[in-house]
Every structure is written in C-alpha cells, then in structure tokens.
Chain A
C-alpha cells in the first residue's frame, strides 16, 4: 500500500482530535458561559457538559467507544494537575483535552476515543 493510501486510511479510521475539540468547546461554552461558581449547580453543569459532548460524539457515527470526563473547580488560587496514562493502539486511538476558565471557575474536559 503506498504512502498516500496509508494516509487516507489513517485519517478515515483514526481518532480526529480537531473535530472533537470543536464539539467539546461548544458543549462547555453553551453550558457554562457567563455563569458564576455555585455549589448547588455544579452537579447539573458537569452532567450537562458530559452528556452534551457524548451525544454529539455518538452522532459522528464513527466506530469508536468514548470516555468523557469533566472537572469543574472553583478559582481560589489552589493548584490542580491532571495526568493520564493509556494502554491502547496508537494508530487508531487518541485523546483530546479542553481547558476553559472564567473569573470564578476552571473547567477541564478530556475525551478519550478508542477504536472498536
């Protein structure tokens, strides 16, 4: 198989991080844009963000399984670090992380896509 064919096959079957980035961005900004951190609403926001992302991802119709995680943290000067380690097939699987913040909170959404 020549290099050009391999490249086409790769783009059709591998995890497309740019597409996914756009989906996450819309979900987060739609759910949380313009809001202030409120303890009693955080549950609802995290659920909304994750569910919105997941429904858009499943509409893409690709043969992938998805894991979406969302962390919302109040801004008060504390530090936060996320790390992930994955055992998968590098040619087809991938992940995408999106960081968002406003004056009162931080939001980090990570999507892992694993090919079937």
Chain B
C-alpha cells in the first residue's frame, strides 16, 4: 500500500481486466498449496496451530506473487479433525461486487479436513 501512496495517486477506481481478482486462478493456487502441504498429514493437536498459520501465510505469499496489485488480501484457513461431527461454515461480505471477490477450496483426508478462503478487496 505504501507504493501507491509514495508513487502519487493513480485515481483508479476500477481495476483493469488483467489485474482483476480472478477466483478461478486463486482457487487453483489454493488447491495446489493445500494438496502439497496436507497430503498424508494426520491431525495432531500440537502441530496443527503452527500448520494452519503457515498455510495461511503461504497462500497469502503465493497470491502476492501472482500480482494482484492494489488488492488487500484476507486469507482464512480452518483445519478440523474428522470424527464424524457436523460442521457448517458461512461467510457474507459487505463490499463492492464489481471489484472485490473471493475464492475457496476444501481438502479432506481420513484424519482431517481443511477449508481455505481467500478474499480480495480492491484499494481505491
């Protein structure tokens, strides 16, 4: 965000098509990271806090590299143990539907499930 301020205002209130937050691209990124980091992992109450934090940071880092300039990113990762319990997750957003968007992916194996959601908010 400092770059936009120090480089002078650009007065862009809508992103170009190339720079728009594309849910399909982001979903693929999330899916690759979840598959790579969680395949074969068992739920362990001591490791999971660190793992979920590192997954969230990893996804955020990858999205920054993809190059969504002028987008603020929020990544939320939820990891739970599979014990047959019922779980429901919902999200609602109050934003500008023309510029802002989100992507999510779910990964499951026998021992855990993981939901990762990434939200992109345009910075005017």
Taking the nearest CB of chain B, how far is it from the CB of A46, in angstroms?
A: 4
Contact in complex: B78, A82 (CB < 8 Å): yes
Q: Judge if A114 is at the interface, Cβ distance under 8 Å.
A: yes
Contact flag A87-B77 (CB < 8 Å), given A70-B91, A76-B83: no
Contact in complex: B92, A51 (CB < 8 Å): yes
Q: Which residue of A lies closest to B68 (CB)?
A: A87
Our count of residue pairs bridging A and B at CB distance below 8 angstroms stands at 145
Interface residues contributed by chain B, number (CB under 8 Å): 45
Contact in complex: A81, B89 (CB < 8 Å): no
What chain B residues lie within 8 Å of A72 (beta carbons)? 87-89
For chain A, the bracket of interface size reads 35 or more
What chain A residues lie within 8 Å of B72 (beta carbons)? 86-89, 93, 114
What chain B residues lie within 8 Å of A51 (beta carbons)? 92
Among A47, A83, A87, A95, point to the contact of B64 (Cβ < 8 A): A87
What chain A residues lie within 8 Å of B84 (beta carbons)? 76
What chain A residues lie within 8 Å of B94 (beta carbons)? 54, 57-58, 65-67
Among B45, B53, B92, B124, point to the contact of A116 (Cβ < 8 A): B124
How far does the alpha carbon of A99 sit from the alpha carbon of B29 in the complex, in Å? 30
The A58-92 residues at the B interface (CB cut-off 8 A) are 58, 65-89
Q: Judge if B43 is at the interface, Cβ distance under 8 Å.
A: yes
Most buried by B among A46, A49, A51: A46
Query: 18 A-B Cβ contacts within 8 A?
Result: A54-B93, A54-B94, A57-B94, A70-B90, A73-B86, A74-B85, A74-B87, A76-B84, A78-B80, A78-B81, A79-B45, A83-B49, A84-B74, A84-B75, A86-B72, A88-B1, A88-B121, A112-B74
